[in-house]
Structure 1
């Protein structure tokens, strides 16, 4: 599925590349790794870890697919930063770089401190899982909890890819003047890599293992999608992660798009029908960052992250009509920060925000396609007697994971991700007589973690069907309890996550912490059963059942626990997804 045509790239890319060279040096915040090295070492390190903006000069389509991907978002995610800091604070720093070595691998390898704010990091570190994170790796790491190594090298050093990726590279090198490129420093032309070396593992599922199958130091697994895949029908058929997450249909192994290897200074390199792996990396995740900061847009580098955070994108700042009214005094003037005092800057910033929001529209469509292509809801089925007045109504839905590759939902991470059933029954007058899967005033399910349930504001949802995995922790008092982090909070004032004295392979989990999986395995199903009380069935006539699954990346109670901002909470709910929503009418006699 080609998300953008060539005209889109020409319009956006030509303009955006103009700003890269002039803003890159001003935006970069040097990280002095040792005393006395200064900016010279930083420049060298930047050169040894090229930014995606350099690759974008010839691989425009790949760049813009990646720009709104979860890989590009890995380092930017405000929830990642809140989560990571909370865990390190709770465990007195004993988690170390466990999170950053996947989310910010380049920065970690460069020696940037774990706690360094995003705005103080190098640009390439902000890019998260950037081009070189995969294409400058030529070692098979396996289950290493993210402890991988990127081969340092300038833009002129080789990259690594599957066997046929470099077939047309010799043609470009032999005609450097025609393509206006340079493969050595000091020569005029667009700088390109010095070659394409074969590394076949990059095209296999095994390449994904190092970050998508990890466990913390006490032995609890936080990412288990690789284990799910290894035990799946897809693995036995030879279907890879890339087939579903980089193909032409989100979430389905139905082939790949076609696109040339590169477009170098307007000249097409390679066959137009060449296999194209979509670097949007389809998945259920979504961004809640400021749209001036993400998607990754080279034009946005004109302003720093701190400056972007002061641009009120939810207001009308930079909207042409609003700015004209402001100029005429027809609307009240906000107290603009100094950065945004100039209306021309606001207009330009709004243009960038709108451009990024268009990219996010495509991301939303891909996300919905992934979730609906991988699941099915059947029903309602009425178990027992025909629906009658004065008798309880027993309803059943069957939720099937039609994905052959991993569970629904996949991964784990305890508190995330959330998928649950929401079912409501309306009587002949349209009155809602039953609902399960409703949310509280914050947007959380009405389970034991709901703040409104705890405050007595809403009823506990006794019939909730929730596929979210939970951590179970044993504390000083009471039995196991559900928690959203694998930390025994009651045990010590400063919890210290220690490796287990007993091999976790014996118990399959460390002592005092385990996981309660509720997800559905590949091609498996689970019944969602509901009972409407007899006292609610008081009218004859046509009733209606509304059903859907709902999906969200984070629960609000967890976001509050780690100190999320109100805008983060608002954004997480704005991206909440309804999966397979439908309605069915039935008669009650």
Structure 2
């Protein structure tokens, strides 16, 4: 469906049709008009029914992505079509537009509109927030969208406002030397205070979004039992169960090649000394996998026991075999980007012969066991030991930023700033702790 610009009087489209709109137009109490030039409150002439808006098929256009070379990048809708939720008749909208993000918890009920202080009839109200794993890494004066912020300063000027230094707060302004230099737009202390008031509201909006993001992630991922299989002087073995709590699609879903979901496990002795750790981050904010630049450089060791659910892009080697890779978009550096098509026909294979997605996500209601082994020579002899397990999630790995930094970033951000913002958004969804008593 195309987006078409039109007059306020033009028809609009919705899931329910024109019944309530027709009632409002006939009721003089609403004092509405549908003709140009007439005095009164202008309103749409008609609400046309667009039934697909309430059906899962409407979501498919954006949430099943097959590239022009046959590469299946996202398969969220395909996963849904074969899921228990689809069989039961639960729609995408039921879980992602209702009272609670990520579960079919019903809908709020209320008037669809309030016209001149008079409400229309109560109806099902849908949420259009669509919380997901992504979060903002740019200046809070620019995002979330804020009309007052846009009127106060341009994007370039907001980027000059150093909110991290405390501009516009009493703690900062009370200590500013009289000869301190500021950008021209922010030279006035009153303007800095006004800007801080706007940012305070922005931070509240961002925190609200974070709450809904955690809600949908925690409804999808669950950290279950920890089973100790061995705990003695010869070593420790235990396993951790993680589960997809949704029955509508895989977890993670969508762009699974960039959804970082993993376990961070730390085992300490009775003195608090760390004897084992998996799932920790390198200085860039990457887990210590084969795509970490620090692992490649030999600065930090590969995390052989890392458990993560992020899918991998796998490419064919020239002389046979496959390897993991970060696949860039194949276009040259020119003023007009041109995406190069495949040089091979895909009629028979339906997918490119040179790359594929190796999926690691959990099927609907599925689970996996993360297994850990600590050799006896790593133990200090000071038991009992404690294993702390954290189930974490982030929108993307930092190595993706490194792979695309040659194209540059908007808002004058460096690759380091973007990567730091990505890593700062990693969240702990669940955590558990277990005592590892040593048997004789």
TM-score, L = length of structure 1: 0.67
Name 1:289's counterpart in structure 2: 138
**Which secondary structure does the structure 1 equivalent of 2:142 belong to?**
coil
| Structure 2 residue 430 is the aligned partner of structure 1 residue 580 | yes
Aligned-residue offset at 1:581:
1.3
Greater Cα shift, 371-380 or 518-527: 371-380
Structure-2 change in CA distance of 1:305 and 1:192 (3 Å) = farther
- Out of 395, 399, 408, the position equivalent to 2:251 is 408
* Contact map agreement 2:256 2:310 (CA 8 A) in 1: no
* 1:77-96 map, 5 Å: none
**Which secondary structure does the structure 1 equivalent of 2:165 belong to?**
coil
Q: Distance in 2 between matches of 1:455 and 1:333?
A: 46
Name 1:23's counterpart in structure 2: none
- Out of 71, 93, 98, the position equivalent to 1:220 is 71
Aligned-residue offset at 1:457:
1.8
* 1:120-131 map, 5 Å: none
Name 2:335's counterpart in structure 1: none
| Structure 2 residue 219 is the aligned partner of structure 1 residue 377 | no
| Structure 2 residue 184 is the aligned partner of structure 1 residue 316 | no
Name 1:192's counterpart in structure 2: 43
- Out of 437, 441, 447, the position equivalent to 2:283 is 441
Name 1:203's counterpart in structure 2: 54
Aligned-residue offset at 1:477:
5.8
**Which secondary structure does the structure 1 equivalent of 2:429 belong to?**
strand
Name 2:80's counterpart in structure 1: 229
Return the structure number with greater helix share.
Answer: 1
Structure-2 change in CA distance of 1:189 and 1:439 (3 Å) = farther
* Contact map agreement 2:265 2:387 (CA 8 A) in 1: yes
| Structure 2 residue 148 is the aligned partner of structure 1 residue 299 | yes
* 1:165-176 map, 5 Å: 166-175=18-27
Name 2:340's counterpart in structure 1: 496
* Contact map agreement 2:284 2:420 (CA 8 A) in 1: no
Q: Distance in 2 between matches of 1:537 and 1:224?
A: 44
Name 1:510's counterpart in structure 2: 352
| Structure 2 residue 100 is the aligned partner of structure 1 residue 257 | no
- Out of 552, 560, 568, the position equivalent to 2:418 is 568
* Contact map agreement 1:473 1:486 (CA 8 A) in 2: no
Q: CA RMSD in A?
A: 2.4
**Which secondary structure does the structure 2 equivalent of 1:259 belong to?**
strand
- CA deviations on 1:24-80 (whole Å, 9 max, x unpaired) are xxxxxxxxxxxxxxxxxxxxxxxxxxxxxxxxxxxxxxxxxxxxxxxxxxxxxxxxx
* Contact map agreement 1:546 1:584 (CA 8 A) in 2: yes
Structure-2 change in CA distance of 1:239 and 1:263 (3 Å) = same
- CA deviations on 1:96-150 (whole Å, 9 max, x unpaired) are xxxxxxxxxxxxxxxxxxxxxxxxxxxxxxxxxxxxxxxxx4xxxxxxxxxxx22
| Structure 2 residue 316 is the aligned partner of structure 1 residue 453 | no
* Contact map agreement 1:250 1:370 (CA 8 A) in 2: yes
Q: Distance in 1 between matches of 2:7 and 2:294?
A: 55
Structure-2 change in CA distance of 1:585 and 1:183 (3 Å) = farther
* Contact map agreement 2:330 2:340 (CA 8 A) in 1: no
Q: Distance in 2 between matches of 1:334 and 1:260?
A: 54
* 1:31-42 map, 5 Å: none
Structure-2 change in CA distance of 1:265 and 1:346 (3 Å) = farther
* Contact map agreement 2:186 2:192 (CA 8 A) in 1: yes
Name 1:108's counterpart in structure 2: none
| Structure 2 residue 267 is the aligned partner of structure 1 residue 425 | yes
* Contact map agreement 1:219 1:499 (CA 8 A) in 2: no
- Out of 326, 342, 348, the position equivalent to 2:188 is 342
Return the structure number with greater strand share.
Answer: 2
- Out of 139, 145, 161, the position equivalent to 2:14 is 161
Gaps of 5+ in 1: 1-136, 138-148
* Contact map agreement 1:376 1:401 (CA 8 A) in 2: yes
